[in-house]
Amino acid sequence: MSAQQTDGGQTREPVVCAHCGTRSPDDRMPLTWVTSVEDGRRRTYCERCARDNLRAIEGKLDSAWW
């Protein structure tokens, strides 16, 4: 599978957890994953990392602290 896919004329990048590097199984973000904006950048976290660090994410702590 290529690094990018086209879906209805739109290019999609693979979804990768910003903390542990886990890839989503089908290049779509599962509903159980979480997104966060840090320093103006959108970051995505898998279910496990989101659960392990939920308080830090909700407290808007920079991921460098957790």
Q: Dig out the tokens for 40 from the structure.
A: 């103006």
- Is residue 50 a contact partner of residue 19, using CB atoms and an 8 Å limit? no
CA distances to 5, 9, 11, 23 from 57, in Å: 29, 33, 28, 20
**pLDDT one digit per residue (tens) for the chain, 66 residues:** 445 545 565 667 789 999 999 999 888 899 999 998 888 899 999 999 999 998 888 888 877 777
**The pTM is what?**
0.71
Q: Residue 58 half-sphere exposure, CB side, CA atoms within 13 Å?
A: 6
